[in-house]
A and B are shown apart, each in its own frame.
Chain A
Amino acid sequence: DAKTTQPPSMDCAEGRAANLPCNHSTISGNEYVYWYRQIHSQGPQYIIHGLKNNETNEMASLIITEDRKSSTLILPHATLRDTAVYYCIVRDRNAGNMLTFGGGTRLMVKP
């Protein structure tokens, strides 16, 4: 079972920041938060992951609350090519490297 809750869909204006929330209230101390996205007709693509500190890479930023019960993926300047389904996943890296996907958030970036 997926351990995360995400809104099913969101819209964002092109050029604006897209903030995708994720609740993971039952996350344990060994579990990391991962984000993947899936563009239409492609396989999921890794974006970013973190444990408790905020993380940033060339694709996005990940903000994890202090209690680790929720997180937000930030795409700072969304483009039309960012339209995709975004999956938030909690994963225990020490338990077989399993990735369990939920339903994700369908982000629509509009001109």
Chain B
Amino acid sequence: EAGVVQSPRYKIIEKKQPVAFWCNPISGHNTLYWYRQNLGQGPELLIRYENEEAVDDSQLPKDRFSAERLKGVDSTLKIQPAELGDSAVYLCASSFGGTGVDYGYTFGSGTRLTVV
């Protein structure tokens, strides 16, 4: 099993440019999460999907961030335009939310974004 796959692994862009991150969750995992992790801090949730529906996006800065999860599988997180403060690691995770079971979250390796 490949685990949660994220790409690109690293991205350097100039401020005001757009950027997109891609995530392929574990097959069969119905819940997908995007987290942002600033240097030296724990990850912070940006958005959570149950299948193709965004059920919690309260922490997503909607003026510049957007996300989608087509067909309830892969997901894309976009920033437009990027700001210097967006430099961080963007982590994707997935989980299976079956009743009575708990396998925890599986995280990808993340995309390290540097905005210059």
Contact = CB atoms under 8 A, between A and B. Distances in A.
Is B truly associated with A?
yes
Interface of A: 2, 32, 34, 36, 41-46, 49, 85, 87, 93, 96-104
B69 interface: no
12 contacts: A2-B42, A36-B105, A41-B109, A42-B110, A43-B91, A43-B93, A44-B91, A44-B105, A46-B104, A46-B106, A87-B42, A102-B42
B108 interface: yes
Contacts of B97: 97
A46 B4 CA distance: 13
**Secondary structure call for the A interface:** loop
A40 B79 CA distance: 25
Nearest to A43: B107
A101 B44 contact: yes
Q: What interface size band does chain B fall in?
A: 20 to 34
Contacts of B48: 96-98
B87 interface: no
Contacts of A34: 104
Contacts of B91: 43-44
Interface in B15-74: 31, 33, 35, 41-45, 48, 55-56
Given A2-B42, A46-B106, A96 B55 contact: yes
Interface in B66-116: 91, 93, 95, 97, 102-110
Interface of B: 4, 31, 33, 35, 41-45, 48, 55-56, 91, 93, 95, 97, 102-110
Nearest to B4: A43
A96 B55 CA distance: 9
B56 A96 contact: yes
A42 B108 CA distance: 8
Nearest to A35: B104
A50 to B, nearest CB: 11
Nearest to B92: A43
A35 to B, nearest CB: 10
Contacts of B35: 101
